[in-house]
């Protein structure tokens, strides 16, 4: 059953914003407060996990205060009446964070793709919300993730397997005869030398690849309608690399055919790619004509920008240090963002998607990363002697920061309140509005 589409009052805000909602807007609000929390796995458990919080003002009962977190997305405030749309603008209304370029940059490294499932959540069971295609943050996100996984699959080679085929054969029999079809479509029409048969063939035209091809056809129809994707050279090259590999694959497939598929460990990318293919098909209602509409009906969803920033920084670190940097190392209930060990640096690194590091620090963050640097297992992994000081580094966004870390001294800026704790700002890709 299709989700009901409702036309609503849409309130738009930037991420990490705090402001007042006036009485002229909040007329549909019935509760004292509203809140949406991000339910996916996250290393932090504090209030920053709130996508948004809305509370009635104590000094004026007709006004509400809204605070958005480090998430972008679309959701209901009052279902059927008012919705909220949060955009990726960073500390400046004149620019918007190019979250698609951030995602593309991080997914250059195959090891990052296993983390993408934790980046977003979609609530398909809730009614859709009417928005313009320009306001649609979800579809480009799903498409970039999908194409990145397909690129890995194509590089490794499409999965070959046995699949069922049904054909009307002339003058021969193969596999199992389809008796009823042979009678109805051949014998009744005096086509006595034809026989409907079902049999197995081995190749790339299996049901998994057909589902990927069906989603790829929707992506192909969508790309020319979205300028941010159309003008992205990396994405164009990715699509042109993928497309020829599926020439011998049909796009005729029903979702019911692929519910219980077991994926060989060699083809581990297929599991996430098939999941995203199903989401893309669901997103467009299985109809390619829906990829070209100016208006969009979107389900409520949220994208975790702190997690995306972690993956973006991971990509920058891997560009320089490759496998010398480890991501999300776990030690007795503690989870480090990055552990770096090479001849020049042995340090614990944390990514903080917080603008306050441009002019100051958050001391709780320093205590956290310093605590990681005191773990015995960290000393063992870095081959440090007991009592040695382990360097710590905070990487944060900075509109004037480094575009890459290839020739950067990671210890050039020490946080003045602490010994051997450093910070570095990295520049985010931006879109001028």
Which domains does the chain possess?
8-87 (no CATH), 127-160+204-298 (no CATH), 161-203 (no CATH), 306-432 (3.40.1350)
| pLDDT score of 261 | 64
DSSP 185: I
Give the pLDDT mean for 166-170. Answer: 89
| pLDDT score of 315 | 92
Give the pLDDT mean for 111-128. Answer: 84
pLDDT category of residue 115 using cuts at 50, 70 and 90 = confident
Predicted TM-score of the model (pTM): 0.84
DSSP 414: B
Q: Which residues of 78-113 are buried (b: 16+ CB within 10 A; e: fewer)?
A: eeeebbbbbbbbbbeeebbbbbbbbbbbbbebeebb
Q: In what order do the strands lie in the sheet with 120-122?
A: 9-14, 82-87, 71-78, 301-304, 120-122
Give the pLDDT mean for 394-417. Answer: 93
Q: Would you say residue 2 has pLDDT above 50?
A: no
pLDDT digits over 345-373, tens only? 999 999 999 888 988 888 999 999 999 99
Q: What is the mean pLDDT of the chain?
A: 86
What is the SS3 assignment for 108?
coil
Give the pLDDT mean for 423-430. Answer: 92
**CA separation, residue 406 to residues 87, 105, 157, 318 (Å):** 30, 15, 32, 10
**How far is Cα 433 from Cα 179, in angstroms, rounded to an integer?**
64
119 neighbors 275 (Cβ within 8 angstroms): no
pLDDT digits over 383-400, tens only? 999 889 999 999 999 988
pLDDT digits over 33-70, tens only? 999 998 765 555 544 589 999 999 988 888 999 999 99
pLDDT digits over 272-314, tens only? 899 899 999 888 875 555 555 677 889 999 999 999 999 999 9
pLDDT category of residue 28 using cuts at 50, 70 and 90 = confident
| pLDDT score of 43 | 55
R_g of the chain computed on alpha carbons = 26
> Any idea what the Cα angle at residue 101 is, between residues 247 and 415, rounded to 5°?
145
| pLDDT score of 1 | 40
């Amino acid at each position: 059953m299709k989700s009901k589409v409702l036309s609503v009052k849409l309130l738009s805000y930037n991420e990490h914003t705090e402001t007042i909602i006036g009485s002229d807007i909040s007329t549909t609000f019935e509760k004292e407060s509203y809140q949406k929390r991000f339910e996916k796995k996250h290393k932090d458990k504090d209030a920053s996990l709130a996508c948004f919080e809305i509370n009635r003002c104590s000094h004026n009962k007709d006004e509400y205060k809204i605070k958005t977190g480090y998430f972008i997305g679309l959701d209901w405030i009052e279902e059927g009446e008012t919705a909220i749309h949060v955009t990726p603008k960073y500390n400046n209304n004149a620019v918007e964070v190019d979250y698609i370029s951030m995602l593309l940059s991080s997914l250059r490294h195959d090891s990052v793709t296993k983390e993408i499932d934790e980046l977003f959540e979609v609530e398909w069971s809730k009614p859709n919300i009417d928005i313009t295609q320009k306001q649609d943050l979800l579809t480009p996100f799903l498409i970039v993730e999908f194409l990145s996984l397909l690129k890995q699959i194509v590089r490794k080679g499409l999965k070959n397997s046995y699949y069922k085929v049904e054909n009307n054969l002339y003058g021969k029999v193969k596999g199992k005869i389809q008796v009823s079809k042979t009678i109805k479509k051949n014998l009744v029409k005096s086509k006595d030398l034809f026989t409907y048969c079902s049999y197995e063939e081995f190749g790339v035209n299996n049901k998994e690849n057909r589902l990927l091809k069906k989603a790829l056809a929707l992506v192909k129809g969508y790309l020319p309608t979205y300028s941010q994707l159309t003008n992205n050279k990396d994405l164009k090259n990715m699509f042109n690399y993928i497309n020829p590999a599926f020439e011998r694959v049909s796009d005729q497939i029903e979702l019911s055919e692929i519910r219980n598929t077991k994926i060989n460990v060699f083809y581990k990318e297929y599991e996430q790619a098939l999941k995203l293919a199903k989401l893309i098909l669901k997103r467009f209602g299985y109809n390619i004509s829906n990829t070209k509409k100016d208006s969009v009906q979107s389900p409520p969803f949220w994208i975790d920008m702190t997690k995306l920033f972690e993956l973006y920084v991971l990509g920058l670190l891997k560009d320089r240090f490759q496998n010398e940097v480890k991501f999300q190392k776990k030690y007795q209930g503690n989870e480090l963002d990055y552990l770096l060990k090479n001849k020049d640096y042995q340090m614990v690194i944390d990514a903080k998607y917080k603008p306050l590091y441009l002019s100051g620090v958050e001391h709780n963050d320093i205590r956290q990363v310093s605590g990681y640097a005191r773990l015995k297992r960290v000393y063992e992994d870095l081959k440090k002697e007991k009592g040695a000081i382990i360097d710590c580094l905070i990487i944060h966004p900075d509109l004037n920061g480094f575009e890459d870390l290839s020739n950067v001294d990671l210890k050039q800026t020490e946080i003045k309140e602490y010994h051997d704790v450093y910070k570095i700002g990295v520049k985010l890709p931006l879109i001028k509005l």
